[in-house]
Structure formats: structure tokens, C-alpha cells
Amino acid sequence: MITITGKNITASISIVMLAVLLVCLPAGIQAASDEARELQWEDLMPKDWMPFDPWSDLDQSQIDKLTDGSAEEKRLMRQYIEAQSSAPVVGALDGQRVRLPGYVVPLDYESTDVSEFLLVPYFGACIHVPPPPSNQIVYVKAKTPYSMNGMFTPVWVTGTLTTQAVLNLVGDAGYTLTATKVEPYE
């Protein structure tokens, strides 16, 4: 430590130190903002929420009487899909920078380059009926297209998550993620 006497010199050193801090501070802030909170799929569901199960009130004999395409089976399936498409989201996640693993269901693509997709927790979600609850589907808009290695390959997606819902024929998403990075899951 250097000790210098005199008010003017001390003030000059303080101003220089302040200037150095101000120059270095934005870089520190940028480094901190580049870090993303790593989420798991259960983090996207409110803690007290349970998925709707229309079959839970039926005993085995009632389930055995359901036939594919019957009016009762169609009614139960409709109830299930309606409940799943309006699953609640976690509002505290709105605007957070996150990193989430999952599988890609392409929506907008050219060859193997995908710019818009649904991110889902398991392979086959949204391809097979019924889709997962909407709070388990994330609509992703990639800033730069991601070159897919195949639909069986899981990915990490990093970006800003919002609680903006997106309705789609493939599956209703409870969240939207603007992706800055899509990479293979490792």
C-alpha cells in the first residue's frame, strides 16, 4: 500500500480507483448475467399442483367398460386434454435466464436447421396423444437455427424464459424461451 499525503493527491487517486472500478464493473455484471439458472422439469410446475387425472375416480370395472372411441372414453379424453392445456405455470420464472434439458419437437425448420420448436421432457411427447401438461411444454424461438442430430438426441437450451403461453396444434406450451444457445445434452 502506498501512502501519499496531501488532499489533492489522495482525491486524484480515489477518482482513478473509482474510474477503474466503473470500467471493470460492467464486465463483472455481464459475466454474472451470462450465467443461467439450471432448471429441471419439475421446477416448471407449481409446488402444490397435481396433473388432472379423469380416470382417478373410476374403479377397475368402469375402466374395463371403456372402449376405444366410446362416448365416455371421448368425454374423459376431452376433459383430460382441456385440463392439461391450461396447467398453471410458475410466475417467479418469468424473465429469468435459464438452462433446461429436453427433446426437440420441430415446428419451423429447413432441412436439419430448426429455428422454432417445442422443448419437451421426454422423447415422443407431443407426437403421441395426449400431450404433456402445458407447463411441461416450452415453446422455443432460437436466435440462430440449431442443426439437429435427430429427434432422439436430447439438448440443453439456454435463454430467457417467459410465462407467455403459445397454443399449437402439436401441443400447448405454458412457457416461451428465447434461446441464445442450443447444444447437445452431455
Q: Which of 32, 120, 57 is nearest to 84 (CA)?
A: 120
Predicted structure pTM score: 0.73
DSSP 3-state of 111: coil
Cα torsion through 166, 184, 106, 125, rounded to 10? -70
| DSSP secondary structure of 126-167 | TTBSSPPPGGG-EEEEEEEEEE-S-TTS-EEEEEEEE---B-
Confidence of residue 16 (pLDDT cuts 50, 70, 90): very low
Write out pLDDT tens, residues 152-186.
899 999 999 999 999 988 889 999 999 999 999 98
Spatial separation of the C-alpha atoms in residues 95 and 18, rounded to whole Å: 32
Cα torsion through 120, 125, 130, 133, rounded to 10? -20
Pairing of strands 138-147, 155-162: unpaired
Write out pLDDT tens, residues 74-111.
888 888 777 777 899 999 999 999 999 999 999 988 88
Spatial separation of the C-alpha atoms in residues 1 and 18, rounded to whole Å: 17
